[in-house]
Chain A
Amino acid sequence: MKPLFEYCLRLADNGLILGQRLSEWCGHGPVLEQDMALTNIALDQIGQARSLYQYAGEIEGKGRDEDQLALLRSSNEYRNALLVEQPNGHFGHTVLRQYLFDAFNHLNYTALCQSKSEQLRAIAEKSLKEITYHLRWSSEWVVRLGDGTEESHSKMEEALDDLWMFAGELVTADELDRQMLEQGYGPDLDKIAPSYWAHIEATFERAQLQKPENTWWQSGGKRGVHGEHMGYILAEMQHLQRAYPGQQW
Chain B
Amino acid sequence: MEATITNDVWKVLEQVSDPEVPVLSILDLGVVREVNWQGKTLEIVITPTYSGCPAMNVIEVNIRAVLQDEGYDNVTVTTVLSPAWTTDWLTEEGKRKLREYGIAPPVGKVDKSLLLGTDVVVPCPLCGSENTEMLSQFGSTACKSLYRCKDCLEPFDYFKCH
| Choice from A50, A119, A122, A136 contacting B117 with Cβ under 8 Å | A136
Interchain Cβ contacts under 8 Å between A and B, 24 examples: A33-B135, A33-B136, A33-B146, A36-B139, A36-B140, A37-B136, A37-B138, A40-B142, A43-B142, A46-B52, A47-B50, A48-B51, A48-B52, A51-B51, A121-B82, A126-B51, A126-B81, A126-B82, A129-B115, A129-B162, A132-B115, A133-B137, A137-B137, A137-B138
List, in ascending order, chain A residues with CB within 8 A of B83's CB.
125
| Choice from B115, B116, B135, B138 contacting A40 with Cβ under 8 Å | B138
Which residues in chain B, 104-162, are within 8 Å of chain A measured between CB atoms? Answer: 115-117, 135-140, 142, 146, 162
Given contacts A45-B52, A123-B81, contact A36 B137 (CB under 8 A): no
User: Counting CB contacts under 8 A, is B12 at the interface?
Assistant: no
Bound CA span A132–B137, Å: 12
User: Counting CB contacts under 8 A, is A66 at the interface?
Assistant: no
Nearest CB of B to A103, in Å: 14
Bound CA span A137–B82, Å: 25
User: Counting CB contacts under 8 A, is B102 at the interface?
Assistant: no
User: Per-residue CB proximity of A101-122 to B under 8 Å, as 1/0?
Assistant: 0000000000000000011011
Nearest CB of B to A90, in Å: 20
User: Counting CB contacts under 8 A, is A41 at the interface?
Assistant: yes
Known: A43-B52, A47-B51. 19 other contacts (CB 8 A): A33-B135, A36-B146, A37-B136, A44-B52, A51-B51, A118-B82, A119-B81, A121-B82, A122-B80, A125-B82, A125-B84, A126-B48, A126-B51, A126-B85, A127-B51, A129-B115, A133-B137, A137-B137, A137-B138
User: Counting CB contacts under 8 A, is B21 at the interface?
Assistant: no
> Is the interface on chain B under 10, 10 to 19, 20 to 34, or 35 or more residues?
20 to 34
Q: Which residues of B contact A (CB under 8 A)?
A: 48, 50-54, 80-85, 115-117, 135-140, 142, 146, 162
Nearest CB of B to A44, in Å: 5
Of the candidates A43, A48, A50, the one having the most CB atoms from chain B within 10 angstroms of its own CB is A43
User: Counting CB contacts under 8 A, is A34 at the interface?
Assistant: yes
Given contacts A36-B139, A40-B138, contact A133 B115 (CB under 8 A): yes
Given contacts A33-B136, A36-B136, A129-B115, contact A51 B81 (CB under 8 A): yes
Bound CA span A36–B81, Å: 25
List, in ascending order, chain A residues with CB within 8 A of B142's CB.
40, 43-44, 130
In the complex formed, the residue of B with least CB distance to A46 is B52
